[in-house]
Amino acid sequence: RLKPFSRLQVILQHVKMSEHTDLTAEVLLEKRGGAGIITLNRPKALNALNFSMIQQIYPQIKTWEQDPETFLIIIKGTGGKAFCAGGDIRAITDAGKVGDRLAEDFFRGEYALNNAIGTCKKPYVALIDGITMGGGVGLSVHGRFRVATEKTLFAMPETAIGLFPDVGGGYFLPRLPGKIGYYLALTGFRLKGRDVLKAGIATHFVESEKLPALEKDLIALKSPSTENIVDLLNSYHVKSKVDQEKEFILDEHMEKINSLFSANSMEEIVKNLKQDGSPFAIKQLEIISKMSPTSLKITLRQLREGASMSLQDVLTMEYRLSQACMRGHDFYEGVRAVLIDKDQSPRWKPASLEEVSDEFVDNCFKPLGNNDLKL
């Protein structure tokens, strides 16, 4: 048995360690006032979401949801550059290559977390300051409030790495005005600042430097109702004048986006763009031609089907697609070309849309039996 003195030393050592790890923790979870606060804390990795972060955030949201003293949940990122630039793609790639469980567990955990946010009974406020892509969109877009700033940079760039806009993209993208969601999903187009609000992705716009004050005011609310939170967010939103006069960046192209991207197949979309021949259409053709043909076909069907599904059914469908991508070729090749070797010239297999058969796409959407995602 430990002598009393050494036992105390062990305890002190432990206390010291936990104090130390808290500052270096990948995600900080704290209760301040009536608010539960989630801080993504991997600034060097642009707050990319990894598996251990998912495992910490999910149970905390569930706990706060049950706690009568927690009235709202705030999520934000550290470092000033990003809210969350995406999921930990490198780790998933390494796992998928060797058939490691992480390639299943990560997506399972991430989609369960997306669903927890989408069904959260407490008002959920995401401060999407800086880069917000892929997995970062999943951590914010399904919540009740999304506050963009002039530094917000939104994109779903997955078709460029042989994936598809997951994390519930099949739910929220087809529900954006017109065919904006289809356009964003297929081309990976980046929206900045107030345009994230105008596209219907953010609910509010507040200057970046005002976020600490907004957070303080949210924390200070006494037993607030959702209406109180709305009023506070609105008051900040109304005062924000940055880029107020600028028109939505896609405004001049909306008519074309709505007509060209409403086709039933990728081949038709490409045909539409070729026939249109405008500078805008030619540019989109160029962008689409660089994307994984398999990803493009999966994505178009994902959005068309997701448009009339519940969030839970969309996430179940997307889990099937994620596992199809883990079994396939293009995801590993896309990650190699974009993130590892950075030569930006992926060699897709199949290399053309025509070679991606309907039968292959159908297979990606097939149920996984006992391995299906259960929400």
243 catalytic? Reply is no
CB-neighbour burial class of residue 158 (10 A; exposed 0-12, middle 13-18, buried 19+): buried
80 catalytic? Reply is no
pLDDT at 19: 45
pLDDT at 3: 52
pLDDT at 9: 56
| Whether this model's pTM surpasses 0.85 | yes
Per annotation, catalytic residue among 166, 195, 318, 330: 166
CB-neighbour burial class of residue 245 (10 A; exposed 0-12, middle 13-18, buried 19+): exposed
pLDDT at 17: 45
pLDDT at 23: 63
CB-neighbour burial class of residue 20 (10 A; exposed 0-12, middle 13-18, buried 19+): exposed
Per annotation, catalytic residue among 104, 129, 158, 318: 158
DSSP-derived letter for residue 147 is E
- Domain map of the chain by residue range? 24-371
24-371: CATH, from 3.20.20.80, 3.90.950.10, 3.90.226.10, 3.40.640.10: 3.90.226.10
SS3 annotation, 83-102: EECCECHHHHHHHHHCCCCH
pLDDT at 22: 62
135 catalytic? Reply is yes
pLDDT at 49: 98
Contact 105, 371 (CB under 8 A): no
pLDDT at 7: 54
277 catalytic? Reply is no
Report the candidate in 179, 172, 230, 163 with the shortest Cα–Cα distance to residue 203: 230
Strand partners, 73: 36, 124
Full pLDDT tens readout for the chain, 375 residues: 545 455 555 555 554 444 444 668 999 999 999 999 999 999 999 999 999 999 999 999 999 999 999 999 999 999 999 999 999 999 999 999 999 999 999 999 999 999 999 999 999 999 999 999 999 999 999 999 999 999 999 999 999 999 999 999 999 999 999 999 999 999 999 999 999 999 999 999 999 999 999 999 999 999 999 999 999 999 999 999 998 889 999 999 999 999 999 999 999 999 999 999 999 999 999 999 999 999 999 999 999 999 999 999 999 999 999 999 999 999 999 999 999 999 999 999 999 999 999 999 999 999 999 999 999
Per annotation, catalytic residue among 34, 36, 86, 87: 87
pLDDT at 11: 52
For the record, the structure tokens of 189 come out as 């187009």
